[in-house]
Structures are given as structure tokens and as C-alpha cells.
Amino acid sequence: MKVGILTGGGDCPGLNAVIRAVVRRAHQRGHEVVGVREGWRGLVEGRFQPLGPREVTGLLPRGGTILGTSRTNPYKTDAVDAVLRNFEQEGLGALVAIGGEDTLGVAARLHAEHDFPVVGVPKTIDNDLSATDYTFGFDTAVFICVEAIDRLHTTAESHNRVMVVEVMGRHTGWIAVMSGIAGGADMVLIPEHPISIEDACADLRRRHERGKDFSIVVVSEGYELDGADSEAGELDEFGHVRLSERGVGARLAQQIEERTGYETRVTVLGHVQRGGSPTPRDRVLATRYGLKAGDLVHEGRFGRMAALHGDAIVDVSLEEATREVKTVPTEWYEVARAFFG
């Protein structure tokens, strides 16, 4: 069988490791693999590239995606027919789609409506996909944030400053809460557990009154600050507001300084969180997901997604995985909260 593989949505470390594992497993099972360029756009426009064992040599530690990516959604551009036509014309018998809720949402719908032979692999630094404990890319993003927080700690301490660190995560606070816990943040603000600016400042004042002259505040880019316009900003191709443009970190820093009088600075980590080499944990997870996806294709088990449950790689339905976003549960937030103030 000829198997297509695509990477869609925001890139993240570990995509190439999945591609390598899918190609290796598919070849072991006697299948041929072809790369689809730039996510769903490649199927809409019929753009493919050869992808044999030679092409995936040395890919394991490499960040980004050798296939390119985009946020093209064929359902939003009336291009589903083109996807089905190009898939058939290329002689493909199966597709491995590596992506987050949007890319896999398209895969789930194509499978439900057209019996499209697709299997999914859960990718996103946001870790917000349901039906899996972790997505690959998340561990690397958290590692990068924690390193930044550690560095900000020393300069915050020298200058008696409050340092606000804005991290990614779109509508969920997974990156903020995990990097806040690991980096010893004094305040973590995430969309799932809003706190009023008065209460946040009261916690910071309490900390400073007990002799700590600096504080680290981690805020998720999707946090709703009192009075902020959550709909402001440009939309991407999947229809999401570009959250980096809302500047929640800068506005929070300004409000903290105005209310407390503490000198405050902001650092927006941005796309640094998606760059570079994957952590060992993400390399292993991506590799296990890739092998599982190769097996699912070989077994003809379409409409499924590789997933992590505890320590085991299992498969779940794409429909279940994309039904709703996985938010940060209160128990996780409470771990971070134990160190506020």
C-alpha cells in the first residue's frame, strides 16, 4: 500500500521523529510512504514528496517538520473534493495525519463523512487534546519555559522586580501550570481558573511583606484579563484569534505595577517554545506514536489515533479525541497555587 503522511497546524519538536518512525514501521510491513507537503494544503493542491528510509535518516533530534505545515482547513475553503481527488490520483491507500485538534478534527470528519482511511497522531505543545494523557511537543515547550523562568529568577532577584512571563497554550493553561510548578512561580494565571487582578496583587503584596522583594508571575496567553477584549486580534486559517497580539503579559505587567508600585517587566516567550530539538521524553513519545500509527495503518484500523494512557500506547477514536479540548483540572492548578503569595 502507498501511505501518505502530513503534519498540520503549529509545528513542534518531535514531528520529524514521528515521521521517521512511521516510515521505518511502514517499510518493515512492506508499505511505501509518501510525504504530503504543508498539511491539508498539500492534499488540496496535490503536492507530494518521496519519503523513504533514506529521507528520514538523522531526523530524530531535528526540530520543525521536513514536510512543512499550514493551518489550511479544507472544510473552510470548500476543498474537500480536491482532497479526496488528489488522494486517489496519487494512488494512496491510507493517510497518517499528525496534528492537534484542528488538523485531527478534519481527519475525524473526513473519516466519518467519507470513510477516509486515516489514522491520527496527537501533536501540540498545548497538550489540550482529549483521550490522551500527553501530546508530544509539550514536554519540550515546558522545558524551554522552565529554563527561561530559572534565568528570570536571578535577574528578578537582583533588581527587586516582578517578572511576568507570558507562555503559549491558546485556550488551556497546561504549559503555564507545568512550567510554573517546575520553575517555582509565585503566581500562575490560566484561563481555566481565573483570579481577579485585585486578588493576584494581594498575593504578591503578601509575599513582598514577608520579605521577598521579587516575584515570578507566569501567565497563559489565553488568560482573560478583567476588561480585556478576548475577540481582538487577527484570525489564523483555522479561525483562531492570534493570541500573541492581545499582549496579555504586557497588560498584566502594567496593571501589577500600577496597583502594587513594584517595578515590573514582561517576557513573552512566543515561538521559542516551539523551536529546536525535542527533549528525550518527546523523542521517545513521538517514536512510540509513530510506530503505533504505522501498525494501525497496516491493520487497516482507520479513524483511530495513537494515544498515551499512563505508560501504555493505545488507540482511541479520532472523534473522541477531537470532541472537546482537555483543560487543566483543579488538582493540577492546586499544586501551583500552594506556592502563591
Q: Per the structure block, which three cell numbers stand in for 141?
A: 515547550
Nearest Cα to 15, choosing from 169, 109, 135, 128? 135
Position 125 contacts ligand F6P (CB under 6 A): yes
Residue count, binding to ligand F6P (CB under 6 A): 13
Cα gap 9→137, rounded to integer Å = 13
Q: Which stretch binds ligand F6P (CB under 6 A): 85-93, 162-170, 275-283, 308-316?
A: 162-170
| C-alpha span between 9 and 77 (Å, rounded) | 16
- DSSP character for 270? G
The answer to whether the CB of 60 falls within 8 A of the CB of 277 is no
Q: Please tell me the distance from the alpha carbon of residue 221 to that of residue 168, in angstroms, as a whole number.
A: 5
Task: Kindly state the smallest distance separating residue 33's Cβ from ligand F6P, in Å.
Answer: 26
C-alpha span between 170 and 243 (Å, rounded): 7
Active-site annotation holds for 126 = yes
Contact status: 169 vs ligand F6P (CB under 6 A): yes
Q: CB-wise, 23 or 164, nearer to ligand F6P? A: 164
What residue type is 4 in one-letter code? G
User: Per rule CB under 6 A, is residue 286 in the interface with ligand F6P?
Assistant: no
What is the phi/psi pair of residue 195, to 5°?
Answer: -125, 145
Which residue of this chain has its Cβ atom nearest to ligand F6P in the complex?
168
Considering the candidates 78, 81, 102, 126, report the single residue annotated as catalytic.
Answer: 126
Binding mask 192-231 toward ligand F6P (x if CB under 6 A, else -) reads -----------------------------x----------
Least Å distance between CB 32 and ligand F6P? Answer: 31
Helix axes 138-159, 174-183, angle to 10 degrees: 50
Cell numbers at 171, concatenated: 485556550
What is the grid cell recorded at 322? 477531537
Determine, following the binding rule CB under 6 A, whether residue 10 of this chain makes contact with ligand F6P. yes
CB 129, min distance to ligand F6P, A: 10
Binding test (CB under 6 A) with ligand F6P, winner from 21, 185, 243, 252: 243
- Smallest gap from residue 142 Cβ to ligand F6P (A): 12
Task: Determine if 123 is a binding residue for ligand F6P (CB under 6 A).
Answer: no
Q: Which of 33, 168, 253, 297 is the binder for ligand F6P (CB under 6 A)?
A: 168
Sole binder of ligand F6P in the list 133, 236, 263, 320 (CB under 6 A): 236
* Residue from the set 6, 92, 126, 279 that interacts with ligand F6P by CB under 6 A: 126
Rule CB under 6 A: say whether 17 interacts with ligand F6P: no
In three-state form (DSSP H/G/I as H, E/B as E, the rest C), the secondary structure along 97-132 is: EEECHHHHHHHHHHHHHHCCCEEEEEECCCCCECCC
Return the half-sphere exposure (C-beta side, CA atoms, 13 A cut-off) of residue 234: 4
What positions carry a catalytic annotation?
Answer: 126
Contact residues toward ligand F6P (CB under 6 A) are: 10, 100, 124-126, 168-170, 221, 236, 242-243, 274
